[in-house]
């Protein structure tokens, strides 16, 4: 294992721990919607809140 590989694993591991449950919950929410609404994020302002920086 290279020195840089171990550094990147340490750096990204907590991020992966945070994203996996969030993506799983998001996927469950999208599965419950009718297929026509799956890609329409305008219906879900709570999903867009994190994307709008200003």
What pLDDT, on a 0 to 100 scale, did the predictor assign at position 46?
A: 55
Phi, psi of 51 (to 5 degrees): -85, -25
Mean pLDDT by 10 residues, the chain (54 residues): 49 58 67 56 54 49
- Residue 48 · residue 42 · CB < 8 Å: yes
What pLDDT, on a 0 to 100 scale, did the predictor assign at position 51?
A: 54
Q: Tell whether pTM > 0.75.
A: no
Please name which of 17, 14, 12 lies closest in space to residue 4, comparing C-alpha atoms: 12
- Domain parsing of the chain, residue ranges: 3-48
For residue 9, what are the CA distances in angstroms to 1, 12, 13, 29, 42?
11, 5, 6, 30, 35
What pLDDT, on a 0 to 100 scale, did the predictor assign at position 31?
A: 64
What pLDDT, on a 0 to 100 scale, did the predictor assign at position 7?
A: 47
């Amino acid at each position: 294992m290279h020195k840089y590989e171990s550094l990147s694993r340490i750096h990204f591991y907590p991020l992966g721990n945070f994203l996996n449950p969030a993506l799983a919950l998001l996927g469950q929410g999208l599965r419950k919607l009718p297929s026509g609404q799956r890609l329409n994020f305008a219906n879900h302002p709570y999903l867009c809140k994190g994307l709008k920086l200003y």
